[in-house]
Amino acid sequence: MPNSPSDTPRRITVRRRGPLLVEGPVEVELEDGTTVSSDRFRVALCTCRRSRRYPWCDTSHRARSRPGEGPATGERPPRDDT
């Protein structure tokens, strides 16, 4: 029975500027009420909404960078102190 006291809790790992990592299998209910599922042992849920496979993360968040940050890595470029 789901949500019974004998169920072990699901672990969700939060990554800064990245997806939520959820121990699977999982079912995700989308805004429109549809349900998608995955039987993988761990899934990455997109939090930036750039994924073409939403709600699953396809690492599209890596393709964009903020002003002043290096491409794809999110790291700041070295300062030029000359």
- Residue 3's identity, in one-letter code, is N
pLDDT of residue 82: 45
Query: Which among 31, 25, 28 has a CA at the least distance from the CA of 10?
Result: 25
- % residues pLDDT > 90 (the chain): 41
Mean pLDDT over 38-66 rounds to 86
Q: Taking the model in full, what pTM does it have?
A: 0.62
- Residue 8: what pLDDT? 80
Cα separation, 71 vs 82, whole angstroms: 23
DSSP 76: P
Mean pLDDT of 32-47: 94
Distances 74 to 7, 29, 57, 77 between C-alpha atoms, Å: 38, 30, 17, 9
Q: What is the mean pLDDT of residues 46-52?
A: 89
